[in-house]
């Protein structure tokens, strides 16, 4: 009995010592192993707590389970059986577009086909103010690059280049059957963060792996896509039976002769004892390393951090490139018959997944002042919201929206059907083609004098929500939202083309379940002029009713600064000062904020956009309507809404630009409102 008590006391003391370290392994008091995590991050316990908050008491079994999970001396952490960090990281890595490739005709150190290895990344590293290319890497998600830790032993990462092929040309092109095919412009990203493995050793070469967290999401295209990783044990074990691997990079073609173009060769998977004989001064290779090479076929110094890959069947039984190794080190005489050594990626999937999962990491505290509205208190450095929008509290905490809820909301935006359109021949205030802008909505509103009319526009952004302007509801009441409308005075809209009559489906009038006006909207300054309408039911997408796309990622949001011409659509006032019976569209030119500020006494802020000119503008009746731009998304041209019509000159089209709410600045607000529905 005394022995049992002693063991229990020692285990408790051991647990107490470790439970202060989040993500560390732990031993539950029922003998099961797990990891110390915040309560809200343990799925099983979170489900129990949610049921308890809804009024359902804990069962006896649940009480026992929670007691076994407790962290002595701390109420923050629990010993969770599921390794939630790994689960979350694996989810991010499970990109089904990974590893898709072009032609396989790249054997023996030959140049690869243009855009056929879109995961290849080229890193420039700064050594004492001298920039030189020294390493490669692979894109593994829209935010992370995998490479070798030794690349940063004596230098600092300066920039990451994605979509690169020929280092000497700005735009890479090729001739095929008489046609010139060009790759998109290379994406160059700076101010990135490097995570070297904590146990990397320059002496033993062990744990030679690093992750680069990009400062912004990358936009996938034909030339930029992620490679697949061996996420499951079956794939990880495959590395033991593979005969040949692919090695790619911009390294040396031979001794002292570097390549300007991306090349690829095939190397044999070798027994580790061959590597041990070649590198006697370094400890014998273990399970965390691979050995591969052939005489005349090897990865050279410039390929450090690049992939050792294999083609296997993955998603939908399609062939994909899977990265099994990271180029670590080899002979100084490249291709002399000595094999190369590679970090075994399969042994580091848990490490990669945990690093990626730590993007979304927060400390949840319930605010007692407002029981109905639960928010998170987060350290400023971990806050996923715009700090400027969060009220500051003591001890370095700020009040922010729930990062988990925001992630859920973003998933609900940009359905597959978003932004698809008909003809674009609608420039200069002309009537648009029937059913060509299916996201356009009309808001039927009653004012304080009981007048009722369609006085604002809006855009459908998914099957349940409409985006519009907050000022539409100043001392006014929304009665319903009309979708699928074209000519207001006509019962059913039809058009005749080449003798054939085409009619749109009947319009749909849908009541609003709720209107969300931005909490910081000011009718005086016009700032935060944005609102969301939650419809009383889901709408069914059809040819005349469909959502517009939103700039949900940072890359698209930032691209607005390089755009010149936007489309503005609505049923508003025309040049002759009366409302139009049909939707009109015009093209307006973006104006910089400084020039825009000259036209208005109100302060124009970065969360606003300016556009317009003489005779081309959005007028009063277009309030809440979209300022849009046509972009390529998922390989197709789509309308993306960058602005919401907010306010302008009282003399519509007089040359003063119109002011629009910058939608990109409010994606988190939109996503949070949708997620907390």
Domain ranges of the chain: 2-82, 89-357
Residue 394's pLDDT is: 36
Mean pLDDT, residues 102-131 taken together: 71
SS3 456: strand
Q: In 385-487, where do the E strands start and end?
A: 397-400, 430-431, 440-446, 452-460, 465-468, 477-483
SS3 534: strand
Is 50 exceeded by the pLDDT of residue 577?
no
CATH topology (fold) of 89-357: Thrombin, subunit H (2.40.10)
298 part of the active site = no
Average per-residue pLDDT for the chain: 77
Residue 508's pLDDT is: 94
Contacts of residue 492, Cβ cutoff 8 Å, sequence gap at least 6? 503, 504, 506
- What is the distance between the alpha carbons of residues 104 and 112, in angstroms, rounded to a whole number? 8
Mean pLDDT, residues 554-565 taken together: 86
Domains 2-82 and 89-357 equal at CATH topology level: no
Task: Give me the residues paired with residue 591 across strands.
Answer: 610
Neighbours of 369 (CB within 10 A): 5
Is 70 exceeded by the pLDDT of residue 414?
no
The single residue of 83, 172, 208, 617 carrying the catalytic annotation is 208
374 part of the active site = no
- What is the distance between the alpha carbons of residues 59 and 215, in angstroms, rounded to a whole number? 46
Q: How confident is the model at residue 373 (pLDDT cuts 50, 70, 90)?
A: very low
pLDDT in tens, 192-249: 999 999 999 988 889 999 999 999 988 888 889 899 888 877 888 888 889 899 988 8
Q: How confident is the model at residue 618 (pLDDT cuts 50, 70, 90)?
A: low
By percentage, how much of the chain surpasses pLDDT 90? 27
pLDDT in tens, 417-466: 576 655 433 234 567 788 889 999 999 998 878 888 888 899 999 999 99
SS3 422: coil
**Cα angle 213, 218, 220; round to 5:** 135
Angle between the N-to-C axes of helices 43-53 and 60-69, in degrees from 0 to 180, rounded to the nearest 10: 130
Q: How confident is the model at residue 340 (pLDDT cuts 50, 70, 90)?
A: confident
pLDDT in tens, 630-675: 887 776 788 999 999 998 876 665 678 889 999 999 998 998 888 7
Which two structure tokens, joined as six digits, stand for 324? 């099994």
End-to-end CA distance of the chain: 55
Q: How confident is the model at residue 619 (pLDDT cuts 50, 70, 90)?
A: low
430 alpha-carbon distance from chain centroid = 36
The single residue of 69, 83, 150, 338 carrying the catalytic annotation is 150
The single residue of 141, 221, 299, 304 carrying the catalytic annotation is 304
304 part of the active site = yes
Please, what sign has the CA dihedral across residues 282, 283, 284, 285?
Answer: negative
Mean pLDDT, residues 37-41 taken together: 73
pLDDT in tens, 469-484: 999 998 889 999 999 9
214 alpha-carbon distance from chain centroid = 11
Residue 326's pLDDT is: 96
CATH no., domain 2-82: 3.30.1640.30
Q: pTM above the 0.75 mark? A: no
Mean pLDDT, residues 373-384 taken together: 30
- What is the distance between the alpha carbons of residues 530 and 646, in angstroms, rounded to a whole number? 8
Is 60 exceeded by the pLDDT of residue 377?
no
SS3 302: helix
Q: Which range, of 147-156, 246-255, 395-404, averages the lowest pLDDT?
A: 395-404
């Amino acid at each position: 009995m005394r022995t049992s008590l002693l063991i229990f006391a020692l285990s408790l003391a051991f647990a107490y010592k470790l439970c202060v370290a989040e993500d560390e392994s732990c031993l539950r008091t029922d003998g099961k192993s797990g990891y110390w995590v915040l309560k809200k991050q343990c799925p099983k316990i979170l489900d129990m707590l949610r049921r308890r908050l809804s009024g359902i008491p804990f069962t006896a079994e649940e009480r026992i389970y929670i007691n076994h999970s407790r962290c002595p001396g701390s109420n923050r952490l629990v010993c969770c059986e599921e390794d939630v960090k790994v689960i979350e990281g694996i989810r991010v890595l499970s990109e089904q577009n990974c590893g898709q490739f072009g032609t396989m005709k790249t054997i023996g150190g030959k140049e690869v086909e243009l855009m056929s290895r879109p995961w290849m990344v080229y890193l420039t590293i700064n050594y004492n103010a001298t920039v030189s290319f020294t390493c490669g890497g692979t894109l593994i998600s829209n935010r992370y690059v995998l490479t070798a830790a030794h690349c940063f032993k004596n230098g600092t990462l300066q920039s990451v280049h994605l979509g690169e092929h020929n280092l000497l040309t700005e735009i890479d092109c090729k001739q095929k059957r008489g046609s010139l095919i060009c790759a998109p412009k290379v994406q160059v990203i700076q101010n990135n963060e490097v995570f070297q493995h904590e146990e990397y050793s320059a002496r033993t070469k062990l744990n030679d792996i690093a992750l680069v967290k990009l400062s912004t999401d990358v936009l996938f295209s034909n030339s930029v896509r992620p490679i697949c990783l061996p996420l499951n044990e079956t794939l990880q074990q495959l590395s033991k039976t593979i005969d040949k691997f692919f090695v790619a990079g911009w390294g040396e073609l031979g001794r002292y002769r570097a390549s300007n173009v991306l090349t690829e060769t095939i190397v044999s998977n070798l027994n580790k004892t061959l590597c041990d004989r070649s590198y006697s001064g370094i400890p014998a290779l273990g399970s965390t390393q691979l050995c591969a090479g052939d005489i005349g076929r090897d990865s050279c110094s410039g390929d450090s951090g690049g992939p050792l890959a294999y083609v296997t069947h993955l998603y939908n039984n399609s062939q994909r490139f899977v990265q099994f190794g990271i180029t670590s080190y080899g002979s100084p005489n490249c291709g002399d018959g000595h094999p190369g050594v590679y970090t075994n990626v399969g042994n580091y999937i848990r490490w990669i997944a945990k690093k990626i999962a730590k993007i979304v990491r927060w400390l949840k505290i319930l605010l007692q002042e407002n029981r109905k509205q639960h928010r998170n208190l987060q350290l400023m450095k971990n806050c996923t919201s715009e700090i400027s929008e969060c009220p500051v509290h003591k001890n370095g905490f700020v009040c922010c929206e729930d990062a988990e809820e925001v992630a859920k909301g973003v998933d609900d935006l940009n359905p597959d059907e978003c932004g698809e359109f008909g003809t674009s021949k609608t420039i200069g205030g002309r009537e648009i083609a029937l059913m060509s802008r299916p996201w356009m909505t009309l808001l039927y509103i009653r004012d304080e004098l009981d007048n009722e009319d369609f006085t604002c526009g809006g855009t459908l952004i998914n099957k349940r929500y409409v985006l519009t302007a907050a000022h539409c509801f100043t001392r006014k009441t929304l009665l319903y939202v009309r979708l699928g409308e074209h000519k207001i005075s006509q019962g059913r809209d039809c058009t005749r083309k080449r003798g054939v009559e085409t009619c749109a489906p009947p319009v749909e009038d849908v009541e609003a379940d709720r209107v969300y006006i931005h909490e910081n909207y000011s009718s005086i300054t016009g700032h935060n002029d944005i609102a969301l309408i939650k419809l009383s039911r889901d709408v069914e997408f059809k040819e005349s009713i469909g959502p517009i796309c939103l700039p949900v990622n940072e890359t698209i949001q930032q691209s607005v600064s390089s755009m010149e011409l936007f489309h503005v659509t609505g049923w508003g006032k025309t040049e002759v000062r009366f409302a139009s019976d049909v939707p009109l569209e015009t093209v307006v030119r973006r104006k910089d904020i400084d020039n825009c500020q000259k036209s208005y006494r109100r302060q124009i802020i970065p969360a606003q956009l300016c556009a317009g000119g003489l005779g081309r503008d959005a007028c009063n009746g277009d309030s809440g309507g979209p300022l849009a731009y046509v972009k390529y998304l998922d390989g197709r041209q789509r309308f993306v809404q960058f602005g919401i019509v907010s306010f302008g000159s009282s003399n519509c089209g007089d040359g003063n630009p119109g002011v629009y709410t910058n939608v990109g600045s409010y994606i988190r607000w939109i996503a949070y409102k949708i997620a907390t529905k």
